């Protein structure tokens, strides 16, 4: 059966010493509990190797927030999937709306990145979600379906089965305006149906679909109680160990 997962996405926050301190605090908090979910932190490239040294990887997974669409070579400033994997990381967030919006990432690029991640033993946490206009003009189901189809549906079933999805309505990211638990459930159930139509019910039932967008300790419980919401991708609230742990412990 699918896993519950709470993953932090630190984005472009924390200096290296601050990031190490935050990772240590989350690691420390996890020592005393057995959470009902897998816990992952997605951190800046510069922090990966150092954070890997200070966390217990049997309790806390480590991920990057992006990787390059090439394996190696003359791509100044880029960081490849093998480089990420060589730090000890085992996850990579791909297709975040901020990468799509500000850095022009397309389904075509993301398809390549997903393949490179999988080939290098990184589990993609693949983000999808509509912008406000698409929510308001009722095209949000089509938009999300297209994002999944274009970037992921050429994968063979065994590879698709390794992907974690994160539904993040763009209008809810960093805005304090969370999707309601019913809105999240409606979309997550739809996504699971799209997967079932392509790969069958078993793979659909085994795919973890996280919710992201202003998720915090106060709303996580209601969101995670929904049958198709398998956890969260957490931005702002992952920058404080206490609030992040408040979300980790929201599973009943
Ligand atoms: P937020 O970000 O929790 O700060 O809204 C979520 C995300 O962008 O992954």
Kindly report, residue by residue over 6-62, the tens digit of the pLDDT.
999 999 999 999 999 999 999 999 998 999 999 999 999 999 999 999 999 999 999
Supply φ then ψ for residue 200, to 5 degrees. Answer: 95, 165
Residue 135: partners with Cβ closer than 8 Å, 6 or more residues away: 169, 171
SS3 34: coil
The closest-lying atom of ligand 1 relative to the alpha carbon of residue 213 is 5
Output the CA 236–ligand 1 centroid distance in Å: 6
Per residue in 87-139, pLDDT (tens digit) is: 999 999 999 999 999 999 999 999 999 999 999 999 999 999 999 999 999 99
Residue of minimum CA distance from atom 1 in ligand 1: 235
Rounded Cα–Cα distance for residues 55 and 31 (Å): 10
Output the CA 50–ligand 1 centroid distance in Å: 24
Output the CA 17–ligand 1 centroid distance in Å: 22
Q: Which of 98, 234, 239, 243 for a ligand 1 pocket mutation test, highest count of atoms within 8 Å of Cβ?
A: 234
CB distance 235 to ligand 1 below 6 Å? yes
Residue of minimum CA distance from atom 2 in ligand 1: 235
The whole-chain average pLDDT of the chain stands at 97
**Would you call 96 a catalytic residue per the annotation?**
yes
pLDDT bracket for residue 1 (50, 70, 90): confident
Give pTM, 2 decimals. 0.98
Rounded Cα–Cα distance for residues 168 and 178 (Å): 10
The closest-lying atom of ligand 1 relative to the alpha carbon of residue 237 is 3
* In contact, 9 and 42? CB cutoff 8 Å: yes
CB distance 9 to ligand 1 below 6 Å? yes
Query: Closest Cα to residue 235, out of 152, 151, 165, 178?
Result: 178
First and final C-alpha spacing in the chain: 17
Rounded Cα–Cα distance for residues 62 and 42 (Å): 6
């Amino acid at each position: 059966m699918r896993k519950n997962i709470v993953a932090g996405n630190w984005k472009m926050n924390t200096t290296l010493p601050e990031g190490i301190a935050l990772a240590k605090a989350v690691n420390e908090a996890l020592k005393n509990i057995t959470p009902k979910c897998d816990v992952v932190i997605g951190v800046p490239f510069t922090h990966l190797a150092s954070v890997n040294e200070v966390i217990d990887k049997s309790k806390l997974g480590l991920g990057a927030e992006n990787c390059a669409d090439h394996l190696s070579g003359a791509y100044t400033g880029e960081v490849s999937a093998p480089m990420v994997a060589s730090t000890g990381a085992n996850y990579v967030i791909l297709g975040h709306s901020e990468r799509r919006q500000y850095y022009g990432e397309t389904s075509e690029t993301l398809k390549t990145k997903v393949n490179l991640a999988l080939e290098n033993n990184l589990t993609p946490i693949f983000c999808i979600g509509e912008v406000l206009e698409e929510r308001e003009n009722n095209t949000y189901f089509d938009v999300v379906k297209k994002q999944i189809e274009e970037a992921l549906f050429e994968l063979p079933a065994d590879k698709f089965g390794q992907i974690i999805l994160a539904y993040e309505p763009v209008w809810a990211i960093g805005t304090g305006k969370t999707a309601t638990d019913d809105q999240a459930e409606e979309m997550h159930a739809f996504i699971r149906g799209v997967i079932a139509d392509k790969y069958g019910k078993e793979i659909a039932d085994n795919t973890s679909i996280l919710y992201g967008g202003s998720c915090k300790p106060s709303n996580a419980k209601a969101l995670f109680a929904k049958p198709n919401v398998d956890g969260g991708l957490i931005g702002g609230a992952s920058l404080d160990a206490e609030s992040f742990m408040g979300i980790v412990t929201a599973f009943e």
